[in-house]
Structures are given as structure tokens and as C-alpha cells.
A and B are shown apart, each in its own frame.
Chain A
Amino acid sequence: MAYASKAREWYKGELETLRSQGLFKQERFIHSPQGAEIEVEFPTGKPPKRVINMCANNYLGLSSHPEVVAAAHAGLDVRGYGMSSVRFICGTQDIHRELESKLTTFLGTEDTLLFPSCMDANAGVFEAVLSEQDVMIADRLVHASIVDGMRLCKAMTDTFKHSDMEHLEEKLQEHQDKRFRMVITDGVFSMDGDLAKLDEIVRLAEKYDAMVFVDESHASGFIGKTGRGTHEHCGVVGRIDIITTTLGKALGGASGGCVSGRAELVEMCRQRARPYLFSNTVAPVIVSGALKVMDLISATTERRDKLEWNTKYWRSLLTEAGLDIKAGESPIVPVMLYNAKLAQDVARGLFDEGIYAVGFFFPVVAKGQARIRTQLSAAHEKRHLDAAAAAFRKVGATHGILGLNKNQIVEKFGL
């Protein structure tokens, strides 16, 4: 009964500290399928309210697409529910290999290996391909899962300032004594929605004999002219050594991820990556849905084009309204509020107006960088965006932030 006393009290205290610091994460229950409009129970216990969803990673609007749902149903009937095994024992169906092949073609790589999630792919990939003789040089704003993967790897860790190519070049020069160098970056950074300078990164990597790793979770399916990703946008398809990405965002939004890239590196992951070796892979029902997703996005760029239009329109609406947004071209559009309490108050006000968007503040983002991260979807119609912008204007006017720049917001509300 040791836990019942000392440990229980300690954990209760820790949780209370999180609450008192405003860091306690509370789930909000959704009573509908994922989409442009959802029914949200908030606060818990209240009747669900129909709101416009501006915070999902449902970039292509495929999470509840009827053809994807039908394909998943069919897959469930034909291939069953679970595999009850890891891949290399008896947990691989032909459709797993078929999906890997389609991802390889779509991403323009040599081979692909599915993982239970992109979090798992990032956790396992570095340890599988690098050792203590090597160095990992990461952008300082890479995703948390990459940080965890780097910590699990014995190679030396180094970082370069966010998107600073001069600093990256210094680091590449500094580590010429290492056996292998790997430059590590997100394709699209999830906090600001900015794109990595992949063309410059690849040029430096080729100059200093380094491999390039890119996490394309916030890019696959919609960045680039045909949605291949940041490498297509930057004109470096075929020159990225490892791409990781997720099926949990634009590509249907269920779950699952992959490592895609040079054939030998992918094979090393198949032999050594522990999240692949020691856990079941993506369930057949999800693989079946994902196969339909790949067919849909390979056949037409219609959804990707609509998302691009929505993104431009949304950015113009917010700019016209006098809100301070992060410039860029990705469907991640942060509305900068700088003050944490202001971000929470505006998010609450938006919900009252029927708009679901979430405020982010320290420690999720740096101190003084609080914002509401809005995310566009091809499922949004113009009317959704017009309604959301009207709500932003109304709530913004209530707080007196329309037309204010950073300094004026900070002067008025503090940091």
C-alpha cells in the first residue's frame, strides 16, 4: 500500500501544481465526426455545441470523407480488425506493403516503412541508422518527437538556430571529423507554420557530405504543386535521404506514420527500429482507408488547391480585420496575441461565437509569443471562413486589439 500514501500525495501535488500554473491539459469531448463543423461538449457536462473547427490537422478534409470511410468499412470486412502480432512475425498483410509502395511513389523516394505513428517513426529512426561515430544537427524548433528520437540515439547531438543557414554551415564545418552527419528539420514547423529552406539545406548537405532528414507531418498531401511536400515546394524531390510523415493529419487523420527514403536506410529501420520491432503496426482498417486516401490525392490536386485558396482567403480576411498574423503560405495561421491570458480570453470568446480555436502560450510556445493557432482545411467552405473572420473581428473589437501591432498589444496587455 506504499502507493496509497506517499506516492499518491506526491502525484496529487504535482497535478495541482500544473493546474495552478495554468498548464493542465483538459480534453474537450466531440460528439460528431471530424470536419469543418463539429459538436463540442464544453465545458464538460454541457450539451454539445455546433462550432466551426479551426484547429484540426484535417488539412485535406479527408478525415470523414465518404469514400475513405467506405474503404475502411470494406477493409474491416475483408481483412479483419487486428493483427495480434508485430510486423516481422505474422503482422504484415499485403495491404501494408501496398500502402508502403504507394507512399514511396507519392513521396518520390526509394522505399517506405510504416510505423504505428510518426511519433514512433521519429523515436526509432535515428537509433536505427546512426551511432556514436556520427552527429545529428537539428533545427532548434524541430518537433518534440524528433527530440525524443535524438535522445534515444548514441550519435552526438548538435543544433542550429532556427532556419539559420550560416549557422548550419558552421556546424557542418565543425563536424567534418564525424563519420556521418545528418541535418534534421521539420518541413513545415508546427508553431509558426513556416517552411524549412530545404533547397539551401540540401545544397549545404551536399557540399559538406551530410544526409538530410525531414519530418513532413504538416506538409504531406498539400505542400508543393501536387502536394508531395516541402521537398516538392523547394525543388529537391529525390534529394532528401529520410522523410518521416504521418497518416494522422492530412492523409486521412486516423493514425500511423512512416519512414521513407533511401532503400538502405529504410531497411535498417526494418531491422533495428524498436517501435517497429516491438509494437503492432497500423491496423488493417486504417491501412484500407489510407489506401483510398492515396488514390484520392494521387488522382487530383483539387483538395490541395482548395486548401491553398482557403489559406490565402483566410490570411486576407484576418489581415483586413487588423489582426497580427504570422506571414507565410502554409495552412497554419497563427494569430499573434503575445499575452497568455489574452490568448485564452480570445479563444473563449471565439467559442461563444461558435468558433473552435485554441490558445497556445508558454511553455508550448516561447514566453511572450502567445497566440491562437488557426488551421485551414479543404473541408472549409467560404461561408465557414467568413463566419470565423466575423467572430474574430467581434471578439477582437471587444478586446480592443484590431489594428494593433505587437508593440501596441504588449503595451496594452503586457507579456
Chain B
Amino acid sequence: MAGASSIAVPLPAGVEPTRLDVELLKAAFSAIVTLRYETSGDWEAALNQLETDGWKVHWGLTWHAEAKKGDDFEQASGKTLDETFAQLAQLARLDMVGHCP
């Protein structure tokens, strides 16, 4: 993304955005930028090919979360924040303890 430009939006004085506010703003702008500028059509060709191959494809905007600790890496996606983080937490929990052979 070298050379990519970004837009800074000043907030009214006294406004303290929450983590969720910030994520919602980023998500909204990302969706706009994607719809406005991602015009290659590659995604649609991939989608069409999958459907031609017999896949029933469901797609849409989702929440995505990643967690990294040392060498461990987990990621989860979901339609809601609750669903996404519940899944992420469960995946992380699977290896939270060590294991004896």
C-alpha cells in the first residue's frame, strides 16, 4: 500500500470515541472505498466460477478478529461482534493449557 493516501476526520471537541465507534467508522469507510474503487471484477469472476462449479456461495460484510500471542495465532469471523469474539475466545482457549503426551 505504498503511497496510499488516507483521510483524517476531526471529531467535535469533547467527543471520546469508544473502540466500537472507531471500528464502526473504519468499517463504514472501508465499505465505501471498496464499493467505489474496487472495480477490477476479479472477485466477481471468482464468485461466478465457484457457482459454475456448483458451490452455493454466501457472502457479505462480516466482523473479523485476530489474536496473536508469541507463536500462537487465532482468527475468527462472524456476522456479529458477539459471535466473532466468542469463536476467537474458544479457539484461543483450546491451546491455553499445555498438553502431556
Contacts and interface: CB of A to CB of B under 8 A. Distances in A.
Interface of A: 138, 140-141, 143-144, 147, 150-151, 156-159, 190-191, 360, 362-366, 373
Interface of B: 87, 90-91, 93-101
Contacts of A362: 98
A220 B101 CA distance: 16
Main secondary structure of the interface of B (DSSP, over half): loop
A347 to B, nearest CB: 15
Nearest to A14: B71
Contact of A159 (B90, B99, B100, B101): B90
Contact of A147 (B87, B95, B100, B101): B95
Contacts of A366: 97-98
A373 B101 CA distance: 11
Contacts of B97: 140-141, 365-366
Nearest to A189: B100
Contacts, number: 41
Contacts of A190: 99-101
A373 B100 CA distance: 10
B70 to A, nearest CB: 10
Among B95, B97, B100, the most chain A Cβ lie within 10 Å of the Cβ of: B100
A158 B94 contact: no
Contacts of A373: 100
Contact of A157 (B91, B96, B100): B91
Nearest to A144: B99
Contacts of B93: 140, 159
B14 to A, nearest CB: 41
B94 A364 contact: no
A143 B99 contact: yes
Contacts of A363: 98
Nearest to B95: A147
9 contacts: A138-B94, A159-B93, A190-B99, A191-B100, A360-B100, A362-B98, A363-B98, A365-B97, A366-B98
Nearest to A373: B100
B91 A364 contact: no
B94 A157 contact: yes
List the 3 closest pairs (A to B, CB-CB), nearest first.
A144-B99, A364-B98, A363-B98
A167 B97 CA distance: 18
A373 B99 CA distance: 13
